[in-house]
């Protein structure tokens, strides 16, 4: 110890303590407990929402999601940075919008990136999809929207028989052929691979587009069934009957109180609040007056009451 430490501890009774041994014992004990519980109960994680599962179990939901994206109805259309230049929906705090600072770093055009490009890959193997794709791209925007509007309306009354989607008679142009091709791609388990930009690289590390494909309706529905929405304390919930991330309760608690609970800028507001609280706690020992509160309040005398009793 230094001379200052020795002078500080003078006349204070001490005893040897093996911190390394104590830490090693605790590490081995809790490792055994965690491994034992994992073997006994398994993982509580809910399986990922894959295109293959949605296409096979909920083909109508798959087709509605795909057709809405192609029609330009995806929420990503006006999301803003980092996906699009539209800044109308960017969250702000006191007029400051941090998302605008880096700008568009991951540009995404949902109709083309999520639907038309994957279909271009299907068209190589399926001439019917190729013909439908050429017909669709040769049509005017007005005609495309007419087909898509009629198709989306027909999906509300469609039925599924033998895995095949049955539509009422109508003028849908090449849209049914396109959507069937995309549905087949999903059922084959190839949708995520077709969405990835770096699919030709040895390793795929960016799954942004695959994760965003179902983020509007399908993922929201799954999260709702698991009580994991923001309004249901979802960030601190587990996906099964197990304790969740309880240490995040201050963060998710902020989402339950006004104005964060109803504000379109709620995410940024909560982030700022938690950051301020964290920094205030971190620098409290260096803030005048605040750093003297423990001494004035005398809480330390309760904690070390055995010592002060002597």
How far apart, in Å, are the Cα atoms of 141 and each of 72, 145, 153, 161? 11, 6, 18, 32
| Residue whose tokens read 């279909």 | 119
> What would the 3-class secondary structure string for 213-250 be?
CCCCCHHHHHHHHCCCCHHHCHHHCCCCCCCCCHHHHH
Inform me whether the pLDDT recorded for 199 exceeds 60: no
pLDDT band per the 50, 70, 90 thresholds, residue 244: confident
The arithmetic mean of pLDDT across residues 211-221, rounded, is 91
C-alpha–C-alpha distance, residues 63 and 148, integer Å:
11
Say whether 78 sits in a helix, a strand or coil: helix
List strand residue ranges (DSSP E) for 38-169, in order. Answer: 159-161, 164-166
Question: Rounded to 10 degrees, what is the CA torsion of 71, 74, 79, 81?
Answer: -80
- Nearest to residue 175, comparing CAs of 70, 54, 298, 27? 70
Judge contact between 175 and 151, C-beta under 8 A. Answer: yes
pLDDT band per the 50, 70, 90 thresholds, residue 42: confident
The domain ranges of the chain are: 51-212, 229-295
pLDDT band per the 50, 70, 90 thresholds, residue 197: low
Say whether 160 sits in a helix, a strand or coil: strand
Q: For the chain, how are helix, strand and coil distributed in percent, rounded to 5?
A: 60, 5, 40
C-alpha–C-alpha distance, residues 210 and 191, integer Å:
8
- Nearest to residue 116, comparing CAs of 54, 66, 76, 154? 66
Q: For residue range 144-163, what is the model confidence (pLDDT) as tens digits?
A: 999 999 999 999 999 999 88
The arithmetic mean of pLDDT across residues 123-135, rounded, is 95
- Nearest to residue 261, comparing CAs of 270, 249, 248, 272? 270
- Other CB atoms closer than 10 Å to residue 187's CB: what's the count? 18
Q: For residue range 90-114, what is the model confidence (pLDDT) as tens digits?
A: 999 998 999 999 999 999 999 999 9
pLDDT of residue 238: 76
C-alpha–C-alpha distance, residues 211 and 106, integer Å:
14
How far apart, in Å, are the Cα atoms of 70 and each of 12, 76, 98, 115, 287? 75, 12, 30, 6, 56
Average pLDDT of the chain, as a whole number: 89
The arithmetic mean of pLDDT across residues 238-262, rounded, is 84
Q: For residue range 58-91, what is the model confidence (pLDDT) as tens digits?
A: 999 999 999 999 999 988 888 889 999 988 889 9
Give the predicted TM-score (pTM) of the model.
0.79
pLDDT band per the 50, 70, 90 thresholds, residue 7: confident
C-alpha–C-alpha distance, residues 214 and 267, integer Å:
21
């Amino acid at each position: 110890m230094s001379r200052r430490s020795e002078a500080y501890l003078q006349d204070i009774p001490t005893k040897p303590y093996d911190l390394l041994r104590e830490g090693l014992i605790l590490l081995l004990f809790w490792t055994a407990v965690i491994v034992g519980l994992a073997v006994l109960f398994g993982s509580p994680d809910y399986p990922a929402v894959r295109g293959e599962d949605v296409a096979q179990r909920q083909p109508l939901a798959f087709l509605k999601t795909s057709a809405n994206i192609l029609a330009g109805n995806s929420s990503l259309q006006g999301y803003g940075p980092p996906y699009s230049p539209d800044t109308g929906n960017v969250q702000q705090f006191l007029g400051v919008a941090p998302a605008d600072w880096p700008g568009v770093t991951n540009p995404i055009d949902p109709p083309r990136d999520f639907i038309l490009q994957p279909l271009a890959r299907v068209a190589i193997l399926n001439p019917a999809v190729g013909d439908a794709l050429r017909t669709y791209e040769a049509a005017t925007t007005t005609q495309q929207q007419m087909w898509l509007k009629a198709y989306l309306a027909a999906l509300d009354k469609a039925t599924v028989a033998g895995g095949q989607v049955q539509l009422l008679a109508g003028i849908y142009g090449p849209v049914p052929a396109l959507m069937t091709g995309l549905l087949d791609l999903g059922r084959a388990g190839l949708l995520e691979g077709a969405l990835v930009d770096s699919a030709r690289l040895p390793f795929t590390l960016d799954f942004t587009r695959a994760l965003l494909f179902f983020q509007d309706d399908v993922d929201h529905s799954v999260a709702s069934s698991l009580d994991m929405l923001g309004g249901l304390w979802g960030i601190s919930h587990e996906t099964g009957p197990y304790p969740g991330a309880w240490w995040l309760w201050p963060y998710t608690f902020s989402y339950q109180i006004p104005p964060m609970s109803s504000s379109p800028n709620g995410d940024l507001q909560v982030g700022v609040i938690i950051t301020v609280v964290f920094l205030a706690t971190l620098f409290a020992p260096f803030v005048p007056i605040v750093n003297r509160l423990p001494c004035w309040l005398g809480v330390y005398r309760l904690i070390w009451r055995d010592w002060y009793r002597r």
